[in-house]
Chains A and B, each alone.
Chain A
């Protein structure tokens, strides 16, 4: 019995020892790999940009094993403040820099655009901003009131915390508690399926995802906003009003590691990541 106990203890100790052993060499090889780039990169800021940058960072790390990319969220204003006072190497913001922030350098890595979608059978082909606000606050609750057929409107809203919701609410100057929703959805795909399954629904999703679904024959339709068609082209060139750019911010002209990362994030190498997160890549 005692022998066995000892055996067990030894095997546990061996296991732990091996675990520690196996930790060491891998980190050593990672640090020693000679490719010029080494060190730690800290990025803080917008929770919209963070998931995208985290994915880009993972790919960057795998290409430059000496580099660690640390991504922290906390809002666009934190990203700008951290970049300004040097707490972070690079700040992240879900908007372009304002004119009064010209002491900083901004680098757009992608754009985000939101389109209003309805079912293909819906005869309404355009809505004014005021009509959209009235639909979402429940003042208009029948398609007849906006020259459609006599049917109640199913209002599809996004769940709290989603950046799409934030952008939508900010553009129409609404509060989420003002919105009278009939369905609340999570991701863009669910929104598209909900609208495709309900001829009387109205919703909003990322334009990239909506275009992809329309091309695949899903019966939805993107409505223009202020007379501007909701296409990825108009998002890319900044014409579409309900859109914003995702920006990386540095205090001075970036150099070394910062420069390499920003150039990597703007390169076509990461366009698949940008698209997979429903954003529109910017081609340079």
Chain B
């Protein structure tokens, strides 16, 4: 018996090679994340030490060439545009997945799914370009200057919609057929089945989709850079131009030197922290939910 166990559990030679390759891959992935954070810290540290982190919250404005480093308007910009787009894309994406999975005729569903996948494959700079030449002039007719929070939310909604729709569909497909058959046997209506049985069973998959969408929205750079106006201010209305943290780095990094460059690394660090908090919060929610159900 012990002999058998040893035979089964001791990895064969090819297994050992695979194991070491996998270990190496996992290690390098982990190290890359740590190295990026260390690099950000190293680059930002001299400035953080000289002027203190409080200046990044309390300064009058963001004019790094004049020694003013307030990042808060851009943090709000990033958070507001992400929140707006997730709030819009979540019902749209989940709704379209429900339609595709349970209501649409098979042929329509197949074509529709391909369309959504196509939407997911469009590069962000194309979304940005379309936004700049079509959407922004349209909004400009309603309320100048057109480059605005509204434009940013609209573009990001389009970009994260496929992520949310496709993960939602995948998690609906994983709902066991017995649940649905059981609900049908009990005589529950189709909508009753979907809202009470399917949505409850697919909850964690839906949440994962939302987190992925949020991550893509907050990290998006090119598209928001093109449609948001990039003026450093906290947007007070949907029609105000604003700048996100990612756009700030992309706009100014190429030509920044000295303190200005270090301040951009602080933006990167702040973005990292914001994303870490979001992910931790999402994980917390998931845990609480899985305990209560």
A residues in contact (CB < 8 Å) with B = 1, 4, 8, 47, 73-74, 151-152, 154, 159-163, 175-177, 181-186, 190, 193-194, 197-198, 200-201
Q: How far is the CB of B233 from chain A (nearest CB, A)?
A: 10
Contact B133 A193 (CB under 8 A): yes
Q: Is the CB of A186 within 8 A of B132?
A: no
Contacts of B252 in A (CB 8 A): 159-161
Contact: A152 with B144, CB < 8 Å?
yes
Given the interface contacts A47-B257, A198-B140, does A186 sit within 8 Å of B146 by beta carbon?
no
Write 11 A-B pairs (CB below 8 A) sorted by A numbering: A1-B16, A74-B257, A151-B144, A159-B230, A159-B251, A182-B145, A182-B229, A190-B132, A197-B137, A197-B140, A198-B136
Which of these binds chain A: B63-71, B165-173, B188-196? B63-71
Q: Is the CB of A161 within 8 A of B255?
A: yes
Q: Are A161 and B260 in contact (CB under 8 A)?
A: yes
With A184-B243, A197-B136 in contact, do A73 and B251 touch (Cβ < 8 Å)? no
Inter-chain contacts of B241 with A (CB < 8 A): 182-184
CB within 8 Å of A: which B193-238 residues: 225-226, 229-232
A169's nearest neighbour on chain B, judged by CB, is B65
Instruction: Give chain B nearest CB distance to A1 CB in angstroms.
Output: 6
Shortest distance from the beta carbon of A182 to any chain B beta carbon, whole Å? 4
A198 smallest CB distance to B (angstroms): 5
Q: With a CB–CB cut-off of 8 A, which chain A residues contact B254? A: 161
Which residues of the partner chain A approach B17 to less than 8 Å between Cβ atoms? 4
Chain B interfacial positions (CB closer than 8 Å to A): 13, 16-17, 20, 61-66, 68, 129, 132-133, 136-137, 140, 144-147, 225-226, 229-232, 241, 243, 250-252, 254-257, 260
Partner of A197, one of B13, B132, B230: B132
Residues of A contacting B129 in the complex (Cβ-Cβ under 8 angstroms):
193
The reply to whether B144 and A183 contact each other, CB–CB distance below 8 Å, is no
Residues on B with C-beta less than 8 A from A152 are: 144
Q: Is the CB of A198 within 8 A of B256?
A: no
Q: A47-B257, A161-B260, A177-B61 are in contact. Are A182 and B144 (CB under 8 A)?
A: yes
Q: Given contacts A160-B260, A177-B66, A183-B231, could you give 13 more A-B pairs where the C-beta distance is less than 8 Å?
A: A154-B144, A160-B252, A175-B66, A176-B63, A177-B63, A184-B229, A190-B225, A190-B226, A193-B133, A194-B136, A197-B132, A197-B137, A197-B140
Partner of A176, one of B20, B66, B147, B230: B66
A8 CA / B19 CA spacing, docked (Å)? 13
Instruction: Choose one: A73, A162, A200; the contact of B257 (CB below 8 Å).
Output: A73
Min CB gap A83→B, angstroms: 19
Q: Which residues on the A side are within 8 Å of B230 (C-beta)?
A: 159, 183-186
Asked if A8 contacts B133 (CB within 8 A), the reply is no
- Contact at B20–A8, with CB atoms within 8 Å? yes
A4 in contact with B146 (CB, 8 Å) = no
Report the separation of the CA atoms of residues A197 and B64 in the bound assembly, to the nearest whole angstrom. Answer: 30
A177 CA / B60 CA spacing, docked (Å)? 10
| Interfacial chain B residues near A190, Cβ < 8 Å | 132, 225-226
Residues of A within 8 A of B256 (CB): 160-161
